[in-house]
Structure 1
Amino acid sequence: MRKNKLFETIKIGKVEIKNKIAMAPMGAFGLISDDGAFNQRAIDYYVERAKGGTGLIITSIVKVENEIDKTIMPAFPCATGNPAKFIQTSSELTERVHAYGTKIFLQLTMGFGRSGSPILMAKQPVSASAIPNYWDPSVTCRELSTQEVEKIVKKFGEAAKIAKASGYDGIEVHAVHEGYLLDQFTLAIFNKRTDKYGGDLRGRLTLPIEILHEIKKNAGQDFPVGLRYSIKSCIKDWRQGGLPGEDYEEKGRNLEEGLEAAKILEEAGYDELNTDVGTYDAWYWSHPPIYQKHGLYLPFTEQLKKVVKIPVIVAGKLDTPGIGEKALENNQADMISLGRGLLADAYWPRKVLLGQEDRIRPCIGCHDGCLGRAFENKPLSCAVNPATGRERYYEIKPTYNPKNIMVIGGGLAGMEVARIAKMRGHNVTIYEKTNDLGGHVIAGSKPDFKLDDKRLLKWYKNEMKVLDVNLIMNMQVTEEMIDTLMPGVVVIATGSKEVMLNKVPGINKEKVATASEVLNGKATGQNVIMVGGGLVGCETALWLAKQGKTVTIVEAFSDIVSSGKPIPHMNKIMLIDLLKINKVEKITSTALLEVTDEGAVIINDKFGKSEIKADTVVLAVGFKSERELFYKMNGKIADLYIVGDANNAANIMNAIWTGNEIGLNI
């Protein structure tokens, strides 16, 4: 059997790593103690990925100081805040990770600068120059003095000593990447300084080189130091990214400069480059949503590999094993890095090694459970894997009292209840009223850009098969049936139905369809009105526009993608940009008044009426929970539960999380 290149050893500096799979650095929100040390949740979280077979773990960003670029605590770790406590918890972390043959690098950061969200920053943001804050352009960042910058450089040295004392195998500097504070010094668009930290490219690279030398001076020349590095910024303009394939002038770091800077940084002594593409201004490159292609950074790292000799690590939706393997074979990278892929499935490496790729739970690119939660001041987790960041509390434990569980509904919520309960030893039967499992995800995964939702649905169906969950299809469960079967536990997972606007005149015309009906194959005319500019409406509109349809979104709110549960920023701005480039029109603060033979009559919030011609009117105005069976059984059965859309019509994360919670505790 041919050995997979993913499982060959590799060296970074003098540190040997057992395979070419790294865990990408991601903010460990909620896994931090008040004094800036990693807490027990963080230890469990990283150790779980070591158990799963990851070769190199690169931690969350760890601040080297928290006075100059000051964030609220405990949003992020800080190595120098309480060094003794940091060493105590980190040494337990590194000892346990090392037991599984995994290496671990500590990622040290200068801070956020203009990228700092106001909800995370404790005082006025700072930067290389006096430039606008990304999130609130009315706030101007304070320019750091030369002395302040030099003080931060010294803090990197202090933090390096602490890292070495904690047992970390190396350091990764954060970051000439994504437009964070250090990157703001390296990019001409942000750096207008006239001291030693400004000027031409070499001048702007003075700071990351000084940091490297200070770390090596304090931790030793043989202590590996890598760099989180963005080859290209993808800045179309201030606070505006450039889409894949779009022709625009790069206002940040272009590819030519990115390759030249990489050669300078290698010459200075960096031991690896952990690479990606993008900035906050183009955040859908740095944190690719579902709309981005898998392996989106590989064309860039392929060029980088031609000009540097140090190891190049690359991330970017590489959680499909074949893509990562091919990247190594084609010399597009030396290691692959998985971020959200390892949140979704900590055992990704082990499953690949065992040939169980069909059992790898896929990331769906939603950001709802990971980075999206940071902006809600909630702990890191994962939409499809609720145990992420809570491994000790969400452990699947066998039951000592097996029960007969009746799950009514075969959507994601129902399948998650069944999956967990079956793994614990219960007897589970799913009753599904249609001939297919998946609920609204069946329609929702039809667009080509929803490939990862389709992969998740396929994974769930396979888990039902592997776990031998009993499935009864085409069965509408009634109150009488439950009374007859007398199951020990009943779980209502009946989902939701689309809201129909039944009181709108003309709504029953043949030209009217719901988004689900259209996604499932109902034909539309050339000119389409999409009533509803939430996530479902916008994604369906994009799908139709990509087919060459002329689409107009009519939205009651003042902007699209603003109703319902907040959409994480990178997903939202990319969807809006894709709608623009595909020429989807939008009419906001406007409601549907009537469907006519020619199209529709709409009315705005100032009571102005107008008519739009259309061949098809598509409704995407939300979902209503199907709770009728729950109301009939409520009060009759002690062990009665309601999960997913049946309880609250929301999203995939809500379906999986509620199903998981009940499955764990029946």
Structure 2
Amino acid sequence: MTAYPNLLSPLQVGSLTLSNRMVMGAMHTRLETLDQPLERLAAFYTERAEGEIALMLTGGYAPVPEGVMEAGGPLFNRREQLAEHRFLVQAVQKKGGRLVLQILHAGRYARVPDCVAPSAGKARINPYSPRVLDTDEVWATIKSYVHTAALAQEAGYTGVEIMGSEGYLINEFTAPLTNQRSDEFGGSLQGRMKLAVEIVKAVRQQVGADFLLIYRLSAIDLMEGGMCAPEIQALAQAIEQAGADMINTGIGWHESAVPTIAASVPRAAWTTAVAQVKAAVTIPVMASNRINTPAIAEQLLASGAADLVSMARPLLADPDFARKVRMGQEQSINTCIACNQSCLDRIFSESSASCLVNPRAGQELDFPLIPASKHKRVAVIGAGPAGMACALYAARRGHKVSLFEASGHLGGQLNLAKQVPGKNEFNETLRYFSVALTQAQVHIHLKTRVSSESLQGQEYDEIVVATGVRPRCIEMEGAQLPMVLSYEQVLSRQAQVGKRVAIIGAGGIGFDVAEFLSGDTRESQDDTVFFKHWGVDPTSQSSGGIQKPDYAPKGLHEIYLLQRKSEAPGKRLGKTTGWVLKSRLRRAGVQMMVGVSYTKISPQGLHYVVAGEPKILDVDTVIVCAGQESNRDLYATLQPLGLPVHIIGGAEHAVELDAARAIEQGMRLAYRL
């Protein structure tokens, strides 16, 4: 008896029978911008097809040039492109997979000068102002969707998904916020729905009954002036009547002031919005966003809120997700932690997407799953992110690996990070590495401090030093006072923090410490608390599902976050999650100060200068978050001995250290050994 009877049951969708209820949602990967783009995309999709996912959706392809996400973005509107699409489809089909092409017109989100929209008004996240489509151009746009759908069918795709959510063109037509038209495509609900309905009708007429047609509908806009629940349900019914086989649900617009997929969002938080769509139609409905474990997916399906689950980033993290569920190996799933660091943040930095916990994602061609030509004995010293990754990938390539850790547990700095509200998903990463290292037969030696003497005579072919970092101390009068603590002491709960707190350093660690002291741990785990904090009406009875926040922070500390630089605090935080953290801290009353020079610390508090004026901040605790230093002591003693030694992670370079870089560096070294 399986623990996941709903998740693993087959489902009839249109004329297609899916083997399970797990779908890989559409993602922008930017792999098409790299060398060997077709081969890279094929390797990416086929590995996930082999992982037994029932259906895969491509990233969005625009039907017209003005609808691309960015200059040079994916566009499918010419017969000359059929060969490259057939290459992808056939590669996936050979591995038993099914591939659906998503058709996406970015509308006013298109980062191109000639972007278009239903009405005037620039999107907050786009420097370009859109041109308003006239009525004839709207009808021409409908024809462009039909043309791309026909090309997709000819290329051999299983079906198409019409992207009608997340604030892209079709969603802009459905919402009063962005549709002030007076023609047949505006005004009443019927007018605002007309573009979506006409596209689905025309595509169905073109492709026939046996070609899968999915429509992605915004289950909740999270924008003032967005659609309300009765309108969303009416649209869902109209889409079904127009000929869609399935409705996939999207959550929020990209410019919404409510987080939708960050780790601070509770798992499956949007179930109510999805269930309301499901209640309105008879065709299958797919849930999406923050569904990252088999248990939460099974729970959602068992509740009747949806028929399938769409998991995009979880399939970046682990391409074998579905196969592991079928085989009862859920403890070995490399779980998506919703950090956004290596996927969305990289996309918005115009890089290709990968994954913090699985750096092979998007780089399958560069790091194939094949054994090393020569197997070696490898010692890895330090079981932080870099050390664990190096040990794991080296062992999987056939090397005999011993992993040494001075403390009593794996994880290094991850054990501090997981203490921060909104970062508890790092527990999943620690669980994954613990299971994976054991399965790979890595010999783990905890509470073992390694020295150069203990390594000599062991006949290791390769020695990897991954001894991590230590907090940087500050040279300042009073720095040795008991009231001065390191971030490590605070996050590991080794020291008591007073009522009034000054945090020196407003980088990522400083923000994490401020969140640790002021954040509400319930927000990322309790839907009701999350909705109150962010002003969300999950039933969408209000316009766009937005209501007044009902949040009164009751922090235990009065916190001052200070930085030397005069730039805006938090400027270097993650592009897609930094704003969430800054917003949370502002709500909690954290006061941020920039352009600060520190002079000394005394029992009276922190002495500093700002704008040339000396001041004293009356605090009883000063927490130093002034960066980190590499712990290179062991490496320094090994180098003169002529041993084959390598250094990675924080031990190699502590500046701007993050887990993504550490894990990828560990993997890369494992492939070079």
Do they superpose with TM above 0.5? Answer: yes
Q: Deviations over 1:223-279 (max 9, x none)?
A: 2321112211212xxxxxxxxxxxxxx432333432333233333332221113211
Q: Which residue of structure 2 lines up, in the alignment, with residue 115 of structure 1?
A: 109
Secondary structure at the counterpart of residue 658 of structure 1:
helix
Q: Secondary structure at the match of 1:541?
A: helix
Helix, strand or coil at the partner of 2:220: coil
Structure 2 counterpart SS, 1:59: strand
**Residue pair 1:18, 1:102 contacting (<8 A) in 2 also:** no
Most deviating of 3-12 and 18-27: 3-12
Query: What are the superposed Cα offsets for residues 202-234 of structure 1, whole Å, 9 maximum, x if unpaired?
Result: 211111112112212221244232111221121
Identify which of 542, 551, 564 aligns with 1:556. Answer: 564
Q: Which runs of 5+ in 1 are unaligned?
A: 236-249
Shift of the 218–636 alpha-carbon distance from structure 1 to 2, 3 Å rule, reads farther
Partner of 1:17: 18
Instruction: Give the SS at the match of 2:280.
Output: coil
Residue type of the partner of 2:190? R
Where do residues 167-316 of structure 1 align in structure 2 (5 Å cutoff)?
167-175=156-164, 177-235=165-223, 250-282=224-256, 285-286=259-260, 288-316=261-289
Task: Say whether the 8 Å CA contact 1:444–1:516 is kept in structure 2.
Answer: no
Q: Do structure 1's residue 320 and structure 2's residue 321 form an aligned pair?
A: no
Tell whether 2:83 aligns with 1:88.
yes
CA distance in 2, matches of 1:231, 1:629: 55
Alignment-derived partner of residue 633 in structure 2: 628
- Partner amino acid, structure 1, of 2:129: T
**8 Å Cα contact 2:421-2:515 kept in structure 1:** no
Q: Give me the TM-score of the superposition, normalised by structure 1.
A: 0.90
- Whole-angstrom CA distance in 1 between matches of 2:644 and 2:112: 47
Of 60, 75, 80, the residue aligned with 1:78 is 75
Match of 1:130 among 105, 115, 120: 120
1:177-576 superposed matches below 5 A? 177-235=165-223, 250-282=224-256, 285-286=259-260, 288-501=261-474, 503-521=475-493, 522-546=495-519, 548-549=555-556, 550-557=558-565, 558-563=567-572, 566-569=573-576, 571-576=577-582
Q: Is the 8 A contact 1:17 1:103 kept in 2?
A: no
Measured against aligned partners, the alpha-carbon deviations of 1:319-347 in whole angstroms (never above 9, x if no partner) come to: 21111001111101100111110100000
Measure, in 1, the Cα distance between the counterparts of 2:229 and 2:584: 23
Structure 2 counterpart of 1:23, which letter? M
With structure 2 as the length reference, what TM-score do the two structures score?
A: 0.89
Letter in 2 for 1:93: L
Comparing 251-260 with 14-23, greater Cα deviation is found at 251-260
Are the equivalent residues in 1 in contact too, given 2:315–2:321 (CA < 8 A)? yes
SS in structure 1 opposite 2:47?
Answer: helix
Bigger mean CA offset, 96-105 vs 365-374: 96-105
- Determine if contact 1:418/1:469 at 8 Å carries over to the other structure: yes
Alpha-carbon distance in 2 for matches of 1:284, 1:426: 46
Task: Find 1:586's aligned residue among 579, 592, 616.
Answer: 592
CA RMSD in angstroms, aligned pairs only: 2.2
> Are the aligned partners of 1:32 and 1:39 in contact in 2 as well (CA < 8 Å)?
no
Counterparts of 1:221 and 1:656 in 2: how far apart (Å)?
Answer: 47
Which residues of 2 match residues 4-43 of structure 1 at below 5 A? 4-31=5-32, 39-43=38-42
* Secondary structure in structure 1 of the residue aligned to 2:478: coil
**Residue type matched to 1:171 in 2?**
V
1:69 to 58, 67, 70: 67
Residues 223 and 443 (structure 1 numbering): CA distance in 2 closer, same or farther, change over 3 Å? same
CA distance in 2, matches of 1:520, 1:174: 45
Letter in 1 for 2:219: I
Say whether the 8 Å CA contact 2:63–2:148 is kept in structure 1. yes
Q: Name stretches of at least 5 consecutive residues in structure 2 with no aligned partner.
A: 521-554
Matched residue, 1:154: 143
1:54 aligns with: 53
**Which residue matches 2:93?**
98
Give CA-to-partner distance per residue, 1:368-404, whole Å, 9 cap, x none. Answer: 2112111222222111112112223211322232212
Kindly provide the amino acid, as one letter, of the partner of residue 371 in structure 2. Answer: P
2: CA distance, partners of 1:72 / 1:103? 27
Cα distance per residue 1:42-74 (max 9 Å; x no partner) = 1111111110010011111011111x3356554
> What is the identity, as a one-letter code, of the residue corresponding to 1:47?
T
With over 3 angstroms needed to count, the CA separation of the structure-2 counterparts of 1:6 and 1:467, relative to structure 1, is: same
Which structure has more relative contact order (CA 8 Å, sep 6+)? It is 2
User: Helix, strand or coil: the match of 2:255?
Assistant: helix
Classify the secondary structure of the residue corresponding to 2:32.
Answer: coil
Distance 1:56 1:451 in 2: 30
- How far is the alpha carbon of 1:524 from its aligned partner? 0.9
Partners of 2:200 and 2:239 within 8 A in 1: no
8 A Cα contact 1:17 1:102, kept in partner: no
Q: State the match for 1:245 in structure 2.
A: none
Aligned AA for 2:484?
V
Question: Any idea what SS the aligned residue of 2:309 has?
Answer: strand
Paired residues of 1:128 and 1:191 also in contact (CA < 8 A): yes
Q: 1:376 to 1:638 in 2, by over 3 A?
A: farther
Asked whether the 8 Å contact 2:204–2:244 carries over to 1, the reply is no
1:583-662 pair list within 5 angstroms: 583-604=589-610, 606-634=611-639, 636-637=641-642, 639-649=644-654, 650-662=657-669
Q: How many percent of aligned residue pairs carry the same amino acid?
A: 27
Structure 2 Cα separation of the partners of residues 587 and 644 of structure 1: 31
Counterpart residue identity of residue 151, structure 1: A
Change (3 A) 1:637 1:124: farther
Report the Cα distance in structure 2 between the residues aligned to 1:401 and 1:334, rounded to whole angstroms: 48
* Partner-residue secondary structure (3-state), 1:543: helix
Paired residues of 2:204 and 2:243 also in contact (CA < 8 A): no
Contact 1:554/1:592, CA 8 A, preserved across alignment:
no
| Alpha-carbon distance in structure 2 between the residues aligned to 1:54 and 1:210 | 31
SS of residue in 1 equivalent to 2:282: coil
Q: What is the CA–CA distance in structure 2 between the aligned matches of 1:335 and 1:72, rounded to whole Å?
A: 31
State the number of aligned residues.
633
Whole-Å separation in 2 of the counterparts to 1:327 and 1:133: 33
The alignment status of 1:143 with 2:120, answered yes or no, reads no
Question: Is the Cα–Cα contact under 8 Å of residues 197 and 203 in structure 1 kept in the other structure?
Answer: yes
